[in-house]
Amino acid sequence: MRDSETVTFGGGGLDRMAAWRGDAAKQSALLTGGRARVLPIWRGKPLVAGDGRDHLAMLPQGHPVLDDVSDLIFLGLDGDTPLFAADVSGWEPIGIDAAASVAFFDPTEQHNPALPPDQRFSELRGVMARLSPLEAELAATARGLMQWHDTHRFCARCGHPSDMTQAGWQRQCPDCKASHFPRTDPVVIMLITHGNRVLMGRSPGWPQGMYSLLAGFIEPGETIEAAVRREVAEETGVRVGAVRYLASQPWPFPASLMIGCAGDAVSDEIVIDPIEIEDALWINREDMVEVMGGRHPHLKPARKGAIAHFLISKWLADQLD
């Protein structure tokens, strides 16, 4: 597919320098000389800057915001600048909106008084499409790793507390010596078409009027193609024939790899499974132009920056092949 790596979080070109992660001397050298920059993440939100929240705020090592950080995660190199991430979730801002923090999308921002007024912790979903490809990749990588560390603090084999190793890319159990690695869950997301129409669905709890492409986790022992056909059939009753790969997107909410596929429907009757989704419908190309342009009276598009928005845009522009 043309421009398949221009999807948000893809194609940033980060030099991850994986060979350096286990080299303690190299890690120490990277943190000397004042060149290192650190991306703080507060409860999943990266630190962003600017009136438009359009770029990451990278702090020098030793900044007061990082005072209580015990472990840094090595992200890679940008030229000769070492890049790290730090979890600063221990900071307790005044007046946290507890309801917003557990909502589908948290619009609130948090400002640490040790930072300039335009630097704030902001929901990554809200700023992802404004960041450069490299910055989006950095933010997605940092968020995904921190979520994994937060939910995998104990050894899955023996239950003993585990330690962060390999510059944040591994956890090691000091008791049974088991090694644990960051989790990524494969998910198929499907552009299912029937003639001039595309199949869209809606999950419970989504913002009013929001529809997106169908998606679902790949099961053990299942191919991508089989997962596409199974998920579409389970959720809508629509049968799918030919399936082909289009593009992929890391999706750190919390730890998915979205595998974008196109599928040709061989039936069009919709019978939804209310446990799986709230609604599904066919939308023709002309109406989808209105949806994507924000002009449809009832339907809202998938969020800009999500692979669903990307795939639909390519379909409308006849750029899937």
Q: What is the pLDDT along the chain (321 residues), one digit of tens a residue?
A: 878 989 999 889 999 999 999 999 998 999 988 999 999 999 999 999 999 999 999 999 999 999 999 899 999 999 999 999 999 999 999 888 877 777 778 999 999 999 999 999 999 999 999 999 999 999 999 999 999 999 999 999 999 999 999 999 999 999 999 999 999 999 999 999 999 999 999 999 898 999 999 999 999 999 999 999 999 999 999 999 999 999 999 999 999 999 999 999 999 999 999 999 999 999 999 999 999 999 999 999 999 999 999 999 999 999 998
Element (H, E) at 59: strand 59-60
Q: What whole-number distance in Å separates Cα of residue 16 and Cα of residue 219?
A: 29
Q: What whole-number distance in Å separates Cα of residue 174 and Cα of residue 48?
A: 36
Residue 178 half-sphere exposure toward CB, CA atoms < 13 A: 14
Listed residue (281, 276, 313) closest to 200, CA to CA: 281
Q: Give the C-alpha distances (Å, rounded to integers) separating 177 from 22, 44, 163, 171.
A: 16, 29, 10, 10
Structure tokens, 97: 């909106």
Per-position b or e across 283-297, b if 16+ CB within 10 A of its CB: beeebbeebbeeebe
Residues 6+ positions from 222 with CB-CB distance below 8 Å? 230
Q: Cβ distance 278 to 203 under 8 Å?
A: yes
Element (H, E) at 50: none
Cα distance between the two ends of the chain:
5
Dihedral, CA atoms, 215, 219, 223, 226, nearest 10 degrees?
-60
Domain boundaries, the chain: 4-150, 152-183, 185-316
Fold classified for 185-316: Nucleoside Triphosphate Pyrophosphohydrolase (3.90.79)
Position 104 scores a pLDDT of: 74
Position 145 scores a pLDDT of: 97
Q: Helices (DSSP H) in 67-176: which residue ranges? A: 98-101, 124-127, 133-151
Q: How far from the centroid of its chain's Cα atoms is residue 317's Cα?
A: 25
> Counting beta carbons within 10 angstroms of the beta carbon of residue 271, is it exposed (0 to 12), middle (13 to 18) or buried (19 or more)?
exposed
Position 205 scores a pLDDT of: 86
Position 1 scores a pLDDT of: 81
Q: Cβ distance 218 to 224 under 8 Å?
A: yes
Per DSSP bridges, beta strands 185-194 and 214-217 are antiparallel
Q: What whole-number distance in Å separates Cα of residue 95 and Cα of residue 110?
A: 9
User: Which SS3 state, helix, strand or coil, does residue 143 take?
Assistant: helix
Per DSSP bridges, beta strands 81-87 and 37-42 are parallel
